[in-house]
Each structure stands twice: as structure tokens, then as C-alpha cells.
Amino acid sequence: MVPLKERASVRELKMGKCDLFVDGRCNACQHRCRLGQDGKGICGVRHMSDGKPHCLRNYISYARLDPIERKPLFHYMPGSKVYSIGSVGCNFRCEFCQNHAISIDFEDYPLTYAPPAMVVRAARSKGADGIAFTFNEPTVFIEYAKSVARLARRKGLYTAFVTNGYLTEESTDYINPYIDAYIVGVKKFNNEYYRKVCGADLSKLKDSLSYLSKRSEHIELSYLVMNDDKFFDDFLRFYDRLERDIPLHLGKFFPEFRSGEKETTTEKLTSYYMAARERGINYVYISDLYGSQYENTYCPKCGSLIMGREGSMGEPSISMHCAIYQIVSNKLDDGRCPKCGEKIGIVTKPRD
């Protein structure tokens, strides 16, 4: 994005001011780290120095142009292009992290100077319709995300937040006015698993998701399916309590980083798909069975094909296990099924 001489690692950067610190405690995520005079948060980037809070602003680790479906967001601005950016750090410590080079082992990862105006200009020059905060957890650079999102909205671009969902009420209220769509990635729905593998508390995540689902204009959920997962029914019961017709993506687990688990079988994915549909969830997708019927949107009333999608494996890069989608059929008629008139929950125009 900028000349090589303007690149640096996080070790070399002077951090920017933070908004979500109160009396030495960071309130960006549910860890609510208390940092003292010179402490560092679990995320590795939000910290205190000389008694003042600091966080990462104006530097990114990675950027590229994507179809919005790659996030995956299937019910927001289908067929549009989004400029995806990420920074470094994460408030989880998942042993299977695909992007561990920027989320966990990032100390020497080269960062590019990219103030908000530069990001928005790059997005527009590439023909993007929106900007997505992704690759690493955007909550850890939420002040920077807000600055970029606010300018992006002024310039006619929509915004998307790709998150593990571990936001506090304070950080949700802080960023939500500037975010058009969220996709929240949920792991195995068991507190012991979240504690041991992710370093998080499932009960606090439930609180976060409940609050976010009430405040957000548009939200979709992605559930990572693993072969030994026995907690999907627990997740579905929680989903019912959200009281929104939220699209649900079932993602395939890929062994990465320190994980010794095996790649999720097709049988496991399709069995979870059927369980979700039998539970009454109208919009369920399998995001990693490329070119299958499970990528398509069907009318929940008459079963007609509304939107056909076709995915292919992404290029070897950050988040390589994400499909590159294209819309191959779009029969949406003014937000409704052309056959029976049922209203379909797909957003085709960003909010003003």
C-alpha cells in the first residue's frame, strides 16, 4: 500500500491513544484486563506505558479485495466487493488459528503505515463497495477501526466487522454506529473448551452475543464444526434465545498452528446442517463445501432457489481456507421471493 521504508514491526511503533480504558482497565473486550502502570493486555497490543493507555492505530498487517461472501456474509450486499484489512493481536489464543502469524506470533510481523484516509482511498481506487475489519480480531484495534469506518461511511462505503464476538457493552456501543454488518465466529459451544483452547469464558461470550444481536443492524453467525463436537444442540438452544432470524454458516475445521485435530468430514457438516434446518433455522449454509447446494439461499416458505453461489478455494495467503465466491443466480425480487412473495432477509442496500 505504501513504500517499504514506511513499514515496521509492532516492536518499533509508537502506539496511539485509546478510548476504552478506565482507571487502568481496558474495556474493549470481556477480559477487561487491568494493566497497572506498564502492563500489557492479553491481546498483546493494548497496554499501559508510563501510566497512559496505548493501542495500535494507523498500521495494518494485510489488505486485499474480496467478495463480501468470503467473510462469510451471505445476506449483506451480495455480489459486492469489500476491501479487507487487518492489524495484529488477538484476545483469544486458539491453538488452531489460521492467522497466528498476525494474531499471536506477530512481534516481528511487518506492518504498513495506513491512516484512515489512505485506507479509504485505497478501497475506492480498487472499486470496493465497503471495508471489512478482519484477519485478526478487530476489537483489539477498535479505535482505529472506528476512525476508518466513520470516514468510510462518509465516503459512501459500507463497513463489516469480522469478530470472535467477545466485545463488551461499552465497545459494542462505541463501534456499532459505524458498522453495517457483523459476522461472528463461534467455536465449540462448551465453556471448558473455550477456557482451555481459546482462553475465554463462554458465559461472557453469550452475554456479548445477546447484546450485539439486539444492537446490530445486521448480524450473521459462523459455527466452526469439529469432528468431536457434541455441543451443537447447546448452541442451537442459545440461538433460539436471540430471537432473530440470523443466517448461520457452518465452517469446516482445518488443522493449523498447534492443532492435531483432523479436518471436518463432509458427513459431520451435513448432519449439522440438517439439525439446524430441522430446528427451524431458515438460512443455513456450509461455507467450505465448494460448489455445493449448501451455499445457496432458498425461500423458507416455498423452497425456491433465491440466490445461487459458487465457491472455490482461496489463494494461499492470510485466511487461505476461505472460499472465493461468486453469485451465479440472483432471483431476488425487491427483497421477496418471486414465486410466493415471501420476504427474504437479504440486505441489498446499505443504510444511510
Q: What is the pLDDT of residue 316?
A: 55
List all residues 6 or more positions away from 89 whose beta carbon is below 8 Å from its beta carbon.
10, 43, 44, 45, 46, 56, 103, 106, 136, 137, 140, 141
Q: Would you give per-residue pLDDT tens digits along the chain (352 residues)?
A: 443 346 777 766 666 778 999 988 999 999 999 987 778 899 999 988 888 888 999 999 999 999 999 999 999 999 999 999 999 999 999 988 889 899 999 999 999 999 999 999 999 999 999 999 999 999 999 999 999 999 999 999 999 999 999 999 999 999 999 999 999 999 999 999 999 999 999 999 999 999 999 999 999 999 999 999 999 999 999 999 998 899 999 999 887 767 677 889 999 999 999 999 999 999 999 987 877 899 999 999 999 999 999 887 665 566 666 777 889 999 999 999 999 999 999 999 887 7
User: At CA 332, angle to CA 224 and CA 336, rounded to 5?
Assistant: 95
Q: What is the pLDDT of residue 3?
A: 39
> CA-to-CA distance for 179 and 7, rounded, in angstroms?
28
> Which of 41, 144, 66 is closest to 318 using CA atoms?
66
Pairing of the two strands 59-60 and 111-113: antiparallel
Contact 181, 217 (CB under 8 A): yes
Residue bearing cell 477456557: 195
C-alpha cell at 87: 492489524
Helix 142-154 / helix 116-125 crossing angle, nearest 10 deg: 50
Terminal alpha carbon distance of the chain: 29
Report CA dihedral (45, 145, 244, 242) to the nearest 10 degrees.
Answer: 20
- Compute CA distances 71 → 181, 185, 241, 275, 278, whole Å: 11, 10, 24, 23, 26
The CATH code of domain 57-289 reads: 3.20.20.70
> CA-to-CA distance for 86 and 168, rounded, in angstroms?
20
> CA-to-CA distance for 203 and 210, rounded, in angstroms?
11
C-alpha cell at 42: 492479553
The amino acid occupying position 299 is C
Pairing of the two strands 7-8 and 248-252: unpaired
Q: What is the pLDDT of residue 4?
A: 38
Contact 269, 295 (CB under 8 A): no
> CA-to-CA distance for 197 and 190, rounded, in angstroms?
11
Domains of the chain: which residue ranges? 57-289
3-state DSSP of 128-183 = CCEEEECCCCHHHHHHHHHHHHHHHHHCCCEEEEEECCCECHHHHHHHHHHCCEEE
List, as one string, the DSSP characters of 252-307.
Answer: EP---TT--PPPPPHHHHHHHHHHHHHTT-S-EEETTSTTSGGGSEE-TTT--EEE
C-alpha cell at 281: 433455522
Contact 188, 250 (CB under 8 A): no
Report CA dihedral (286, 140, 93, 4) to the nearest 10 degrees.
Answer: 90
Q: What is the pLDDT of residue 165?
A: 98
